[in-house]
Structure 1
Amino acid sequence: MSYFVFPGTEPTVVILHGLAGSGREFEPTARALAGRRVILIDQRGHGHSTRTPPDTSRAAYVGDVVRVIETESTGPVDIVGQSMGAHTAMLVAASHPNMVRRLVLLECDAGSGTPEERAALGAFFRSWKVPFPDRDAATSSLGGGPLARAWAADLEQRADGFYPRFDPDVMVATITDVAEPRWAEWAEVTAPALVIYAEHGMFTTQQQADFVARGTNVTRVDLSAGSHDAHLDAFDIWIIALSSFIDSR
């Protein structure tokens, strides 16, 4: 497991990235939470953590986060996640309620998706024209937007070019487990939870409403802009929503 600690005061904020991302894309968020201790975790199969872990179950992801919290924090943490990372954060809060003070979920549901969607995602990752000659070429090839820039910034440089820090098959295996609905676990979360959806996010109005309604002690915020990766393309309003919630008493 690889993770980076920004020094500051507790309670610690633990941030979990989405599928095919890494902690690096949340560095601006960590810096914006000036004064708070922040831990950015590269979840298994991502970033600088083990590239091809033998276990991609939800339990394995949760266990990794729990071990980091046990090692690095002296008390309950505020745990923040986006997409797959939000799903992991939700399960941590459900299974270890004494570890979590507040929970923030950006673009999350209890678990959804079809085999066809997962196959298409795997095909997309395998279509990347690696190695990329440089980060600018990677950004252009991947669409040129904020997410493409985040992916390009995180590429691994090797002698013959730049490669992603994840394996497509591991990503498909991971998202397959994320797709299994975890309604019982979501209902068990007792920590105050903030659920954030972006204007152009990936979930339907009905999915959003169902998820919020079936939680306990949930506050919902709808961002007036942004995509599924609103921490990248709606940064200012993301930070306002996040900091207002975790700084409240």
Structure 2
Amino acid sequence: MAWSEHVVVRDGVRLACRDWGGPGQPLVLLHGLAGHAGEWDVLAQRLSSRYRVVAVDQRGHGASERHPRDVSRAAYVADVIAVVDQLTLRRPVLVGQSLGGHTALLTAAAHPGLVRALVLVEAGPGGPNPDGPADISGWLDSWPAPFPSREAAAAFLGGGPVGAGWAAGLEEREGGWWPRFDRDVMVRSLAENARRSFWREWGQVACPTLVVLAQSSFIPAQEAEEMLRQRPATMAMSIPGTGHDLHLEQPEVLHTTLADFLEGLA
């Protein structure tokens, strides 16, 4: 099944969505910082045989608005609500990786009646992380853009399926292949995470929740343990041999994990 593009506009900000169609329970897929909706393509295609799947280019990313003024956590959450409303996605399951998972968490906390279930892939409520903006800034500044080819970009960005997934988000224009995001927008998007944690919001999540972590996880063990202590009904698992971008490394394993979780919601 191929996807079709829908454009949702909220407060003048254009949000591009890959709608994979499909019957049944709606799923909204949210990528991480500096990512793009296409990262979910393999997983989305598999899931769309049974579910209505929509992957979103979040504000500042991919085919969506490149330079939004507001990159607050509240703005990202309001975008999800707009997508759900304008595409008539009744009580969706929110699936998010990294910062996309954080957005999904905050959406579920603020709008408990809207969300059927929550899946966090390498995401949690911990913080503050004052080094986050500088770390991301340094990493993005290290990219030798423009890349001469997608293949060169994939090699630089880690090789294998992870490098290919990141490189797929680039666009070809003058001089080579460039990121489809603005570095300063990415850095500003982490401002609130740098200042505070979101444990209060985690405690407000009322829907069934699955947490999927990598073997080499960005989420500290203490944070994962505290998540389960505060909400013991949360389901959690770790996928062996994976890193932070496990949705790119092991989409088949993640699909099986999600399918089992979704079956349990029926």
Inter-CA distance 74–80: structure 2 relative to 1 (3 Å threshold): closer
State the AA in 1 paired with 2:175: D
Residue 203 (structure 2) pairs with residue 184 (structure 1)? no
Residues 87 and 178 of structure 1 are in contact (CA less than 8 Å); yes or no, is this contact kept in structure 2?
Answer: no
Q: Which runs of 5+ in 1 are unaligned?
A: none
Q: Provide closer, same or farther for how the CA distance between residues 93 and 55 of structure 1 changes in structure 2, counting only shifts above 3 A.
A: same
Q: Deviation of residue 74 (structure 1)?
A: 4.6
CA distance in structure 2 between the aligned counterparts of 1:106 and 1:28, rounded to whole angstroms: 16
Aligned to 1:79: 94
Partners in 1 of 2:63 and 2:245 — Cα distance? 21
The answer to whether the aligner puts 1:44 opposite 2:59 as a matched pair is yes
Q: Which runs of 5+ in 2 are unaligned?
A: 1-14
What corresponds to 1:16 in structure 2? 30
* Contact 2:132 2:190 survives alignment (8 Å): no
What is the 5 A alignment of 1:1-249? 1-33=15-47, 34-112=49-127, 114-179=129-194, 180-215=196-231, 217-248=233-264, 249=266
Tell me how far apart the structure 1 counterparts of residues 172 and 182 of structure 2 sit (CA, whole Å).
Answer: 15
Give the Å deviation of 1:151: 1.4
Q: Is the 8 A contact 1:198 1:228 kept in 2?
A: yes
3-state SS, counterpart of residue 105 of structure 1: strand
**Aligned CA distance change for structure 1 residues 117 and 182 (closer, same or farther; 3 Å):** closer
RMSD of the TM alignment (CA)? 1.5
Distance in 1, matches of 2:258 and 2:108, equals: 17
**Which one-letter code corresponds to 1:212 in the other structure?**
L
Offset from partner CA, 1:156-187 (integer Å, 9 cap, x none): 11132110011111111112223431111111
With structure 2 as the length reference, what TM-score do the two structures score? 0.89
Per-residue deviation at 1:220?
1.2
Aligned-pair CA distance for 1:191? 0.6
Q: Is the 8 A contact 1:225 1:234 kept in 2?
A: no
Distance 1:127 1:207, change over 3 A: same
Q: Across the two proteins, how many residue pairs are aligned to each other? A: 249
Tell me the TM-score normalized by structure 1.
0.95
